[in-house]
Structure formats: structure tokens, C-alpha cells
A = this chain, B = another copy of it.
């Protein structure tokens, strides 16, 4: 007792039975005699014995925990309501299956190093692609993974919406309302989004582009003001300020995240710019605040909670070696029309 934890050896010594028998008493009760078992449980209880979970997990080669990779700084990852919703979805599944959820921030700036040290049965990441460093670490460690908003492939189980179509739809909505001078608030390729090819950002730009093409415009048009931001309220506010000062004088702001759109609405309001009378604002994600901001935000609903839930369910199946016909899941999106989008004023 005195300062040391009680181990299986203490119970063995105290009862006179072997470690095997003690272990069976807890994990395989029917294998041993009733009396034996009762004695063991009593002694264990008296001594305050709690089997060491790490030793147990180590022996069983498992962790009973799912890891969620947090990109960049905390404020920019779980600080983002959409990411937070995903996390809640994952947490729900963990709770239902008796797992814990391990949040894994970068270790000394390095997410790869964090993955090397992660004590989890599987990982969920955002925007992952097969050729990334972290993915090779996961492969070397034989840890299953699933990506949300990543690059689907046979080797990269994933949960995505059809970003291109969703982006197309919302841009079309904006164009249909009559807007022709538009600010696009895009997202930085951060720790996750690599420079090249089709991450979420590229797919959405493609969608915007397609809608613009239908009215004879493109992303390079002089009436398009393109900005990139980190996905947080603060950068959204700064982007809004730059929009105010831009020479394009957009009549609509199309943001790739509600967080950015909401920051714009708040900033415009503070500056006395009316939404949607002076400028319309639309977003992407449909976080819960979007329904309550004033005016309520027109946006694309992509259920973060569901995505987290589905991703962790897929991950659980992979962990338990279940066969699956499809590991690349498409989840649904939906255009949500609210008051932040209006028609541009006549000039």
C-alpha cells in the first residue's frame, strides 16, 4: 500500500493463488472455482486493487482510444466551430463504444512526431492525403486512419461532401441574385492543405469557377477580389477590413467558412455597412451560430457532427477488421437560404 499501487502480484501473494488465476478471476470468471473467485475479488477489493489499464492494454496490444489530429495551433483547429462539431461527433461514437478520444496537437510544431507518439488504435485527420508525412508514419505504425475533407482514394478512407457541387450551388445563388462584383474568401493551405491539386479548397474554387463561367466570368476577372485567410474569426475580421478598402467594392462576399462570413458580418455592422443591403455575405459549413447571427447567414450545410460520427464509425470497423465495400463516404450537403444574401443595390 504505502505509496505503491496494488498490483496483481500483491493479490497473488495475499491469496496464495497464481497471477493467472487472479487474472482469470477478473477476465474469465467461469474458468475458476466460485469460492476461489470470491476470495480473490474480496481480497482485491480490500486492498483497493484496480488492474493497471496500460499494462492490460499493452498486453492486449490495443489502446481503447481514437485519436483526432489537431492541425496547427489549437485556436485555429478546435477553435473552429466546424472542427469542434466534428469532434463532438467523434466523441459520441467513442462514448458509445467505450473508447476515449485523444486530441493530438502537433508535438513541437510537428504533427508527424505527434503521430509517432500517439497511443491510439486509429486516427482521424482533416484534409489528409496519401502522400503526406503523417500518413506514412501511420502506415509504418500500422495504425488505421480516416480523413475528413481529405483526398479520397482506395488507400485513404474518407468522409467528404461534394465540395465542388456545393460551391457551385452557392455561387450560382449569389450570381442569380444579380451580384457581379464578388469577394471570395478562400482558405489557406495550412498544415494540411498542400499546395498542389485538389484539396477541399481547390474543389470549391472549381465549383465557384463553374458558376462564374455560366455568366461569362472567371476567378481571374477584375471584378473578383480573392483573399486567403486562416479559418478563424480574427482573420475573418481582417479580411473584412481589406474588403472594405478594396477598389473592387464587391456587392457580395462568398466565404469558404461560416467563421469567416460571420466575422465579416460583424465587422461590416461595426463599420455601418448594412448586410445584405450594402453587401451580401454567404458562407460554408452551417455552424450553429450561423442561424443566430444577425442577419442569419446563407450558407452550405455540411453536418460536422455527422461527418465526425461517420468517420469514427468507419474507423471502428477498420480497427475491428470488418469487411467494407466502400471506405470513401460521400455525405450530403444542402443550400441553406437565409437573410444575409440579397440583391445588389442599383447603381
Contacts and interface: CB of A to CB of B under 8 A. Distances in A.
A42 interface: no
Interface string A138-169: 00111000000000000000000000000000
Interface string A79-102: 100001001100110110010111
A105 B100 contact: yes
Contacts of A105: 91, 94-95, 100-101
A177 interface: no
Interface in A92-122: 92, 94-95, 98, 100-108, 114, 116-119
B118 A100 contact: yes
B74 A91 contact: yes
Pairs A-B, 10 closest by C-beta atoms? A95-B105, A101-B103, A48-B140, A53-B117, A58-B58, A102-B102, A100-B102, A74-B91, A74-B92, A100-B104
A4 B76 CA distance: 36
Query: Size band of the A side of the interface?
Result: 35 or more
A98 B108 contact: yes
Contacts of A95: 70, 73-74, 105-106
A57 B91 contact: no
Interface in A39-78: 48-51, 53-55, 57-58, 63-65, 67, 70, 73-75, 78
Given A289-B292, A294-B294, 7 more contacts: A5-B141, A5-B142, A49-B140, A54-B54, A70-B91, A100-B102, A101-B102
A3 to B, nearest CB: 8
SS class of chain A's interface: helix, strand, loop or mixed? Answer: mixed
Contact of A119 (B98, B117, B119, B141): B119
A117 B64 contact: yes
Contacts of A79: 88
Interface in A14-47: none
Contacts of A238: none
Contacts of A103: 91, 94, 100-103
Nearest to A140: B48
A274 B81 CA distance: 29
B63 A116 contact: no
A119 B65 contact: yes
A172 interface: no
Best-buried of A48, A49, A105 by chain B (most CB within 10 Å): A105
B116 A65 contact: no
Contacts of A188: none
Contact of A50 (B92, B116, B289): B116
Contacts of A73: 95
A227 interface: no
Contact of A55 (B58, B74, B75, B91): B58
Contacts of A293: 292
A226 interface: no
Given A74-B91, A79-B88, A137-B50, A63 B119 contact: yes
Given A74-B88, A100-B102, A103-B103, A54 B65 contact: no
A266 interface: yes
A75 B64 CA distance: 21
Contacts of A294: 294
